[in-house]
A = this chain, B = another copy of it.
Amino acid sequence: MSTPFRLGIAGLGTVGAGVVKIVQAHGAALAAKAGRPVEITAVSARNRGLDRGIDLSPFGWEDDATRLARRDDVDCVVEAIGGAGGPARALAEQALAAGKHLVTANKALIAHHGHELAEAAEAAGVALRFEAAVAGGIPVLKGIGEGLAANAISRIFGVLNGTCNYILSEMEATGADYADVLAEAQRLGYAEADPSFDVGGIDAAHKLAILAAMAFGTRIDFDGVVTEGIERITLADIRTARDMGYSIKLLALARMHDSGLEQRVRPCMVPEKTPIGALAGVTNAVVAEGDFVGQCIFTGPGAGAGPTASAILADVLDAARGHLSPAFGRPAACLTAAPRLQHGEEHSPYYLRFMLADRPGALASIASALGEAGVSIHRMRQYGQGDPVPVVIETHDARRDAIDAALIAIAALPVSMAPPVAIRIEEV
């Protein structure tokens, strides 16, 4: 009961400072829950003098974060530096090699190097945990890896990037353009100055790769995530989607097929009256489907200092209790290298938008091209008058390669006045 569990915290940005604040605010409760005191003994950051609203004087200081791995008074390193390589990776490797538990919020690090780090943690008999890397404060890795562990998961999906969801739901709510909403999101701090990791889907892809490995017991495969961002989503598509009963969401989805593992981050149309379709703002949600449990949904704040620090400390408490589950829910040697589903094998209904010259036979030529590619039409709408005129088609279930072939054929038609748009429709 009395041996303290001693933390070394690397990185004192908002997340690292948040960890310090929780330990200072809830020390007694954390000790009761862990069965032993949880203490911070050392910290490291780039700038020692910066005012972070916390008193660092009780803690040892290291200019070089990797030195935390060598301190005798540190049992667990909390990595809050960020970045897939560089100092974060060096620290992680050295901490595990030195027999320290490692808790990190670093999705890029885990997405790229999670398997090797999991092996290192097992070899050292220590915990490697990264709840904060996926969906911020929501305890979703614990929920799936432990809470739903009795199930074979068939599909896992969700909204994993708050920036994108804020932009899409603001466009829908206010009718403002992508560029205007992005600028507002940057002003509010919901988007970075360089937003490409978020709006390009990379951030969500990092998280999805981690979730999929945990859900399916597969070896993490970030390079296998097919990724498409929200940059090309227009207000016109958002309005048409709503008109058809859908919302457009940047959906991260992984599904196990007989022929391979499907992992993709893509703007999708989802029924608006579902928990995912109705999700507004920066909130995240993850849906897991298990063979015995059915569908469980985890919803909450996907980013921010408080939620991220909350998730980090949940991992710290588990390590302090001596709960050393394997990083991905089963030993690294048991994680299977699943083949990737071929891109063209993906199938679903699709929303297609064409800009057609207003002349006789235009619609017929589109319908004909779809038919030749084997894509059948569920419903079709023409929006207003004009030349070109927007025509929207919702297909029946179709393979992606058939859709791609149809779009190539249609783009080459004389009546096609702008590149066609295809957005997957997902049952959620």
Contact = CB atoms under 8 A, between A and B. Distances in A.
B131 A139 contact: no
A35 B307 CA distance: 31
A149 B319 CA distance: 13
A292 interface: yes
Interface stretch (A164-172, A188-196, A227-235, A325-333): A325-333
Given A29-B152, A147-B142, A299 B314 contact: no
Contacts of A25: 152, 291
Contact of A146 (B21, B296, B314): B314
Given A35-B331, A295-B300, A331-B35, A143 B139 contact: yes
B26 A314 contact: no
A59 interface: no
A121 B414 CA distance: 77
Interface in A1-52: 18, 21-22, 25-26, 29-30, 32-33, 35
Interface string A304-326: 10110111111001100111011
Interface residues of A, number: 59
Nearest to A30: B150
A142 B150 contact: no
Nearest to A324: B321
Q: Which of A35, A150, A297 has the most CB of B within 10 A?
A: A150
Nearest to A150: B313
A303 to B, nearest CB: 11
A327 to B, nearest CB: 12
A58 to B, nearest CB: 19
Contacts of A300: 293-297
A287 to B, nearest CB: 9
A117 interface: no
Nearest to A307: B293
A326 B290 CA distance: 27
A292 B306 contact: yes
Contacts of A292: 18, 21-22, 137, 306-307, 309-310
Given A297-B300, A301-B293, A317 B33 contact: no
A268 to B, nearest CB: 20
B137 A33 contact: no
A152 B22 CA distance: 10
A16 to B, nearest CB: 14
A298 B301 contact: no
Nearest to A143: B139
Contact of A33 (B21, B26, B306, B330): B330
Interface string A338-361: 000000000000000000000000
A278 interface: yes
A368 to B, nearest CB: 42
A148 B301 contact: no
Contact of A32 (B32, B139, B312, B331): B331
Given A138-B296, A150-B310, 12 more contacts: A21-B292, A25-B152, A30-B149, A32-B330, A139-B142, A148-B314, A151-B310, A292-B306, A293-B301, A294-B301, A294-B306, A296-B301
Interface of A: 18, 21-22, 25-26, 29-30, 32-33, 35, 131, 137-139, 142-143, 146-152, 217, 273, 275, 278, 290-301, 304, 306-307, 309-314, 317-318, 321-323, 325-326, 329-331, 334
Q: Which 5 A-B pairs have the closest CB atoms?
A: A139-B147, A150-B313, A296-B300, A137-B293, A292-B306
24 contacts: A18-B292, A21-B292, A22-B150, A25-B152, A26-B150, A32-B331, A137-B292, A137-B296, A139-B142, A139-B143, A146-B317, A150-B312, A151-B310, A278-B278, A292-B310, A293-B300, A293-B301, A293-B310, A293-B311, A295-B300, A296-B298, A296-B300, A297-B298, A322-B322
